[in-house]
Each structure stands twice: as C-alpha cells, then as structure tokens.
DNA sequence: CTGAAAGCGCTTACAG
DNA sequence: CTGAAAGCGCTTACAG
C-alpha cells in the first residue's frame, strides 16, 4: 500500500496508530511500543515503524493515550485575577515551564469569585488534569482547596494558609533589604521609606509591611536611622508619593527614598524635580515591581526591585511537575535589583 | 448496595458511569442517555439515574466522552505575546466567553517564535482541540495558519492576511475620530495630533496611522485645521510627548492635543504643567488605550479611548464557537470614550 | 422506552 | 522480540 503523499491515512482522515501498524506490517502493540521508545522492540522494527509514522504524519491522539495511560500531561492554571499585573507574569513563567515539559496548561480565571473557582475546578477535574497551579493576585494567603487524591496542587504568589501545602512566593522582606542596601552602598545616610497601605483589607498589605521591615532591618544593621522615625504608609499611588515627599522635605533632611512601589517612586521623583531638587544627586529614589510602563519608560527611568514573578511561576510549575524534589511549606524567592537613572550616580 | 457517604465509587476511586448504571439498575446506554438529556428515556428512569449520579458525585470523564463523541469542548488559545498589554485583555475576554460556553482554553504562548508556534500547534492538535483562537500582539496582520480540515480558526487583534479568514480587530481609525470629536465638542478649535511611530517595522504603526487619520478626518469634517499642518509622529513614549509638545508650543497656538497613546499624553501633560499651562483649561489632552497604571492612577487622571480589547477577545471567542453566525473577513470593533480630568471642564 | 454490542484510539500486562 | 486480547470510560447506531 503506497504512502499517501499528503500524509493522510487511507480515507483522507488523519492517520491512526492502526494505519501505521498496518503500513509497517506489525501489530498495534508493537507499533505503540516502538513509537514510545520502549526497550523491548527490535532495532529494525523500531526504525521501520518510526519511518512509516513520519511518512503518514502520524500524530497520536492524546485523548486516547490519556484514557488508557491514566495521565493526561495537562495541568490546570487557575488564577484569581488575570488582569492584575502580578498574577500575569507568574502565569507566563508557569506556562513556559509547562511547555518545556510538554505539559498543556488549561487556563481558568475565577476573577476572585468562589463560585466560579468551584465551577472551573469541576470542569478541570472532569478533564482529568494531573495537577493544579493556583496563582493568586496578592501576597496574602488564601484558603487551601480540597482536591481528590492524586491531584497535586501548588500555590504561587498567594500562599496557601495550610503549611502542609506547597507554596512559592516572593521574598518581600529580602527585597526591602536589597533596595535599602543599594542606597546605603551609594553613600546615602538619610533614608526614608514611603510604603504602601497596611489596612486590614488592603491588597498587598503584607508586601507593604515586609518591604518596610526590610528597610528598617537594613538601616539598623548599618547603624543608620530611619528618617521620619519609622516607615510612612499610604496607598500604592503616585499621589501618595508626591504628598508624602512634599511633607517629608518640610521637616527632614533626606538623601534616599525607598518607595513601596514604582508608582509611589514616580510621585516622589516628580515632586523632587518640581521642588528643584536633583535626582539622584540630591535624593536617590528606588521603587519595587519593575512595572513596565512606569519604571523604565518614563522620562526619568527608575531604579527598582524586580520581584522576579516570572521565576515564581516557573518554579511553581517545576515543583508541580516534580513534587518529590520539593519540601512542603512556603518557598520565598528573592527579587533582583535593577539600577536605572533614579539612583545611578 | 448502599451509597457511599463519601461520594466515591465502590473501591474508593471516583465513580464511573458504570457505577451509576449499576446502582440505578439500568444499562450503561440508558444511564448515558439519561444524564445527557436525550429525549428517549423514561421520566422515572431519568430521575432515578440523575439522583444516583448526584449521590455518587459522578463526574464524567471528559476524555472518554471526547474520544467517543469526536468533540472535545476545548480550544487552543495561542498568543504571540502574553506579556504585551494588548494581547492580555483579549485573552481575558476570550477566556470569559469560552468559560461561559463550558469550553476549556488550552493556553499556549509562542513568544513571537515561529518554531514555538509550530510546536504548540502540534501539541494542541494532538489534544484534538475543536478550534483555535490566535491572539496577536499588534494590529499588523499575520500569516494565516494551515490547519487540518474541521479545525476552525479565528484571529483576534492581529488579523490574518488572508481575507478568507475570520478576524476580529480594533477600529483604530474610528477611535481617532472619537477622540477628536470629543475635543471638538468641548469647543477646542486648535487641535494637534501627537502620534506613534510609522516606521516600517515599528510595532503598532498601523494603529499610529489609523488613529492619526481619524483625527484628520474628524477635523476636516468640522472644517477645522490640523494644527502643525499634519499629525506629528514619534514613538510611543512619554519622552516624545514631552518634547513634541515643547516644540509645538513654540510655534503654534494649541487648545487640544490628541495623543497616540496614554504615555505620549502623559508626557504632553507633564510638559504643559511644567510650562505653567493649565490642563484642561488651556489645553485639553486625550490619549488612547486606557493603560491602567498610566491614565487613571496618575496625579492627573487622563481622558482616553478604551479600545475594548476585552470585547475583541469575547467577540472572537463567540465567533469561534458559532462560526455560522459570522461572515469571513475582518470585523473592526469600536472603542469607547473615557472622560477624566485631562479633558473634563 | 431499554439494552447488548461495537467502537473511539490508544496502552499494557501476558503469552509465546 | 512480537502479537492477541483486554481495557481505559464513555457514546451511538441498532434491535427489540
């Protein structure tokens, strides 16, 4: 039987394993083993089968494989908030790592709604995913999910409140230290911290607190004062950065500002320039998050701590794929310093 | 046989259709028909089967269903660029529409690499997706994909270069008109356009051109001049907005600025304030894209045209699910005006 | 209205 | 090393 040039099976439909077996003159079982690299197949046979499979452009039906093998090679990628700028880079990192492992990601977005999360979960489980990656929108912990036995789960960015679960998160405290050490290494000695909100239900309050503590700890370690006595906390906006800096300058001498995020840093920088001060000569300013439209593309590119969310996603996906290599509990990943004009001397 | 309280099948594993049939005292075929709402099942039987299924927490194995039915209820969501801020809202819209139709989205990110796109495509087809949604990163058209018969494709944001394909895109020209009409309706008569790049390989050049033409057409329709003689084109950054405005003010009288995006608008506004002009009293400024961190959260909230990318994704997904309702070719969706302080009088 | 049987396209013990 | 057979969990003509 001649091989169809179009790479199709006999009837014009896509070639199946049975077509391959027939064309290669072997049984279904042998064809399957040969193609899956099983050891117990003759060298010549294997060659013939792979050749025929290639000729027929054979693409195995993964549904059928999954059904008989019991593994689907797919995982659910379930997020709280696809819009937020934190969940997304995590998803991207996860998708990349999954893709490398030939694992398919089933995307689901619960938009913060419990009922939707439950519905999506049902659908995903019906699809027999091998595991679940939960990507949260903020650093606050979330309720763990109850899953059928055999379905592994990893929590990314927002950790599970159950310490027995595996969570991969950002090290906000370490990043606060990093940012502050950077200003200190530049010779700054009058450093203040303009942080985000601490209110009970404010999104990101844990990050605001941990980053501020990082600053305090770093200053203390160097025997330096916290200018203004303690970190100042407002909200995550430019406006707060502008106002806080304006007030700060009226009462304190400052040569370095650690701002809770890039927005606050932007507001601070605008105010400093507005008051005729030079950045970074008079006051060096650093933020957090490496927000694309904010920190690098503005008129005065801003130094920042990149929280490496991509890496959080990547790492979480790897942990999901190889749970044996990972201990339970929270794994906090460090960010890295990005130096731009607002601190470059 | 008593129903297990835990909602599990006999051996503790998840219940299968066979378990349900056995417990309900009917055949597999009947159980299947009852659960799938087929008409040819007795009322009493259907009730009994659904009851038993609920008791056993029966969740059908979708893999098996797909294998026998030939439809998987899944589509590929293949993007160029998950990081870009344009592709993402489209994906979100698509995911929402797919979720509503109980269709699962298989996420794949080719990061602009042809080889990756091909690999992902192979994997998706191996998974027997029912259709494919291609989400591009910019308004420029892309090469169409060759897909096996029976797999529908819809192109979102970036249209296919083949007019026989179905594409859902943004109406950049109409948005340019919209922005300009808004300034005109505010009584502005000296309007200039500070647009994005037109260079051959600049991302977004088609949007830059179409938006500028929209401004020109709107001004012409009202018998108003294009201040500076024609739209000015630079790049998509704040810096360009700042510089262009600075130069413009030296030679022209201006009371309205249509800026190609929100970044440019931000630069323009900063320059205007820097030179002691009032926004919007002296010069009203509007941008495009409704970029989250830029237009609404800055110190001076900016008016903008929201391109409704979410709707582009939603619409594209709907078209994929119901191809019969849609004609081939490009469908351009309008944006909508968002009025904020930079034009609010 | 109900059920026995074949089939979807694979994989995997088990025999030979 | 190779193959016949059973099985994964469903759906769908077809008979009754």
b/e per residue, A234-247, with b = 16+ CB within 10 A?
bbbbbbbbbbbbee
Q: On the CB side of A100, how many CA atoms lie within 13 Å of its CA? A: 10
CB atoms within 10 A of CB B341: 16
Q: CA B206 to CA B75: how far, in whole Å?
A: 29
Of A119-123, A296-300, B51-55, B120-124, the range with the lowest mean pLDDT is: A296-300
Do B246 and B184 have their domain in common?
A: yes
Do B279 and B179 have their domain in common?
A: yes
Q: CA B279 to CA B256: how far, in whole Å?
A: 10
3-state secondary structure of B156: strand
Q: Within a domain: residue B9?
A: no
Report the pLDDT averaged over residues A19-33: 92
3-state secondary structure of A281: coil
User: Is A31 a residue whose pLDDT tops 80?
Assistant: yes
Q: Would you state the pLDDT for residue B12? A: 63
3-state secondary structure of B162: coil
> For tokens 């269903």, what's the residue?
B65
Contacts of residue B102 in chain A, CB cutoff 8 Å?
Answer: 123
User: What pTM did the predictor assign?
Assistant: 0.90
Burial class (CB in 10 A: 0-12, 13-18, 19+), B215: buried
Most confident region among A77-81, B31-35, B220-224, B292-296 by mean pLDDT: B220-224
Q: On the CB side of A158, how many CA atoms lie within 13 Å of its CA? A: 25
Q: Which residue is nearest to nucleotide D11 (CA to C1')?
A: B68
User: Is A13 a residue whose pLDDT tops 80?
Assistant: no
With vertex at residue B310, the alpha carbon angle to CA B304 and CA B312, rounded to the nearest 5 degrees, is 100
Contact A63 B102 (CB under 8 A): no
Q: CA A198 to CA A200: how far, in whole Å?
A: 6
User: Is B138 a residue whose pLDDT tops 80?
Assistant: yes
User: Is B316 a residue whose pLDDT tops 90?
Assistant: yes
Q: Does A270 touch chain B (CB under 8 A)?
A: yes
Q: Would you state the pLDDT for residue A81? A: 87
Of A13-22, B234-243, B263-272, the range with the lowest mean pLDDT is: A13-22
Q: Residue A77 in contact with residue A95, Cβ under 8 Å?
A: yes
> Residue B256 region, left (φ>0) first, then alpha (ψ -120 to 50), else beta?
beta
Pairing of strands A191-195, A256-259: parallel
The residues of the protein lying within 7 Å (CB) of strand C read A 13, 16-18, 28-29, 32-33, 35-36, 58, 60-61, 64-65, 67-69; B 25-30, 33, 39-45, 64, 67-68
The tokens describing B137, both together, are 């990163």
Do A86 and A76 have their domain in common?
A: yes
Do B77 and B95 have their domain in common?
A: yes
CB atoms within 10 A of CB A276: 7
User: Is A2 a residue whose pLDDT tops 60?
Assistant: no
List bases, strand C, within 7 Å of protein CB: 1-13
Q: Within a domain: residue A141?
A: yes
Q: CA B96 to CA B266: how far, in whole Å?
A: 32
Task: Report the side by side order of strands in the sheet with A152-156.
Answer: A329-333, A166-170, A152-156, A131-135, A74-79, A104-109, B104-109, B74-79, B131-135, B152-156, B166-170, B329-333
Write out pLDDT tens, residues B149-159: 889 999 999 99
Q: Within a domain: residue B341?
A: no
DSSP secondary structure letters along A189-243: --EEEEE---STT-TTHHHHHHHHHHHHHHHHHTT--BTTSS-EE--SSHHHHHH
CB atoms within 10 A of CB B297: 18
Residue A41 belongs to domain with CATH number: 1.10.260.40
Contacts of residue B116 in chain A, CB cutoff 8 Å?
Answer: 99
User: Is A11 a residue whose pLDDT tops 80?
Assistant: no
Report the pLDDT averaged over residues A238-249: 96
Contact B123 A105 (CB under 8 A): no
Report the pLDDT averaged over residues A23-48: 91
More confident site: A69 or A226: A226
Q: Within a domain: residue A10?
A: no
Do A35 and A143 have their domain in common?
A: no
Q: Within a domain: residue A88?
A: yes
Q: Within a domain: residue B200?
A: yes
Do A205 and A245 have their domain in common?
A: yes
Task: Report the side by side order of strands in the sheet with A256-259.
Answer: A232-233, A191-195, A256-259, A284-288, A303-306, A336-338
User: Is A4 a residue whose pLDDT tops 50?
Assistant: no
**Which alpha helices (DSSP H) does chain B contain, by range?**
17-24, 28-35, 43-55, 62-69, 87-100, 114-126, 172-185, 205-221, 238-251, 262-274, 309-321
Write out pLDDT tens, residues A189-203: 999 999 999 999 898
Most B CBs within 10 A among A71, A89, A97, A107, hence the mutation to make, goes to A107
Name the domain count of chain A.
3
Report the pLDDT averaged over residues B166-173: 97
Do B206 and B177 have their domain in common?
A: yes
**Bridge partners for B304 per DSSP:** B287, B338
Size of interface A-B (CB pairs under 8 A): 128
b/e per residue, B32-56, with b = 16+ CB within 10 A?
bbbbeeeeebeeebbebbbebbebb
Q: CA A23 to CA A34: how far, in whole Å?
A: 14
Do B156 and B237 have their domain in common?
A: no
The tokens describing B222, both together, are 């009202």
Q: Residue A241 in contact with residue A268, Cβ under 8 Å?
A: yes
Do B103 and B119 have their domain in common?
A: yes
Confidence of residue B14 (pLDDT cuts 50, 70, 90): confident
Q: Would you state the pLDDT for residue B2? A: 31
User: Is B295 a residue whose pLDDT tops 80?
Assistant: no
Q: Would you state the pLDDT for residue B345? A: 67
Q: Would you state the pLDDT for residue A148? A: 87
Most B CBs within 10 A among A74, A102, A245, A293, hence the mutation to make, goes to A293
Write out pLDDT tens, residues A139-187: 999 999 999 888 999 999 999 999 999 999 999 999 999 999 999 999 9
User: Is B8 a residue whose pLDDT tops 50?
Assistant: no
- Provide CB contacts within 8 A for A232, sequence distance 6+: A192, A193, A194, A195, A244, A248
Chain B residues 83-102 within an 8 A CB cutoff of chain A: 83, 85, 88-89, 91-92, 95-96, 99, 102
User: Is B3 a residue whose pLDDT tops 80?
Assistant: no
Do B286 and B316 have their domain in common?
A: no
Report the pLDDT averaged over residues A214-226: 98
Residue B228 belongs to domain with CATH number: 3.40.50.2300
Q: CA B165 to CA B152: how far, in whole Å?
A: 10
Contact A63 B72 (CB under 8 A): yes
- Provide CB contacts within 8 A for A56, sequence distance 6+: A3, A4, A7, A8, A9, A15, A19, A20, A23
Contact B238 A127 (CB under 8 A): no
When the pLDDT of each residue in chain B is averaged and rounded to a whole number, the result is 92
Report the residue from A59, A88, A127 with minimal CB separation from B126.
A59
Report the residue from B102, B109, B128 with minimal CB separation from A63.
B128
> Helix axis angle, B43-55 relative to B28-35, nearest 10°?
90
Write out pLDDT tens, residues A253-287: 999 999 999 999 999 999 999 999 999 999 999 99
Confidence of residue A9 (pLDDT cuts 50, 70, 90): very low
Q: CA A329 to CA A315: how far, in whole Å?
A: 14
Range of the domain at A235: 172-306
Do B79 and B181 have their domain in common?
A: no
When the pLDDT of each residue in chain A is averaged and rounded to a whole number, the result is 92
Contacts of residue B83 in chain A, CB cutoff 8 Å?
Answer: 88-89, 92
CA distance B126 to chain A (A): 5
Do A280 and A322 have their domain in common?
A: no
The tokens describing A343, both together, are 């601190």
Q: Within a domain: residue B231?
A: yes
Q: Would you state the pLDDT for residue A231? A: 98
The tokens describing A257, both together, are 């500002």
Q: Within a domain: residue B212?
A: yes
What DSSP element (H or E) covers A43? Answer: helix A43-55
Confidence of residue A296 (pLDDT cuts 50, 70, 90): confident
Q: CA A170 to CA A139: how far, in whole Å?
A: 8
**Bridge partners for A29 per DSSP:** none
């Amino acid at each position: 039987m001649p091989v169809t040039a179009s790479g199709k099976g006999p009837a014009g439909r896509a070639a199946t394993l049975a077509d391959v077996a027939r064309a290669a003159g072997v049984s279904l079982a042998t064809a399957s083993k040969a193609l899956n690299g099983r050891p117990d197949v003759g060298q010549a046979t294997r060659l013939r089968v792979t050749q025929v499979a290639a000729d027929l452009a054979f693409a195995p039906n993964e549904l059928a494989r999954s059904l008989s093998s019991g593994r689907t090679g797919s995982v659910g990628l379930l997020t709280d908030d696809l819009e937020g700028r934190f969940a997304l880079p995590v998803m991207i990192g996860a998708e990349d790592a999954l893709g490398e492992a030939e694992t398919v990601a089933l995307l689901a977005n619960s938009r913060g709604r419990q009922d939707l999360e439950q519905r999506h979960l049902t659908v995903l489980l019906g699809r027999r995913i091998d595991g679940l990656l939960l990507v949260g929108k903020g650093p606050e912990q979330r309720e763990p999910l109850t899953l059928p036995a055999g379905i592994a789960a990893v929590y990314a960015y927002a950790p599970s409140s159950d310490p027995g679960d595996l969570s991969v998160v950002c090290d906000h405290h370490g990043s606060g230290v990093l940012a502050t050490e950077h200003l200190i290494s530049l010779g700054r000695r009058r450093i203040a911290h303009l942080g985000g909100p601490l209110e009970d239900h404010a999104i990101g309050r844990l990050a605001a607190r941990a980053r501020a503590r990082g600053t305090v700890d770093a200053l203390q370690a160097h025997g330096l004062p916290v200018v203004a006595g303690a970190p100042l906390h407002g909200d995550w906006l430019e406006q707060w950065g502008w106002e806080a800096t304006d007030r700060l300058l009226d009462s304190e001498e400052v040569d370095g500002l650690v701002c809770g995020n890039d927005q606050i840093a932007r507001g601070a920088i605008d105010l400093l320039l507005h008051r005729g001060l030079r950045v970074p000569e008079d006051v060096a300013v650093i933020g957090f998050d490496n927000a694309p439209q904010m920190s690098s593309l503005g008129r005065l590119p801003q130094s920042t701590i990149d929280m490496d969310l991509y890496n959080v996603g990547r790492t979480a996906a790897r942990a999901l794929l190889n749970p044996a290599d990972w201990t339970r509990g929270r794994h906090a990943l460090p960010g890295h310093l990005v130096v731009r004009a607002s601190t470059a001397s």
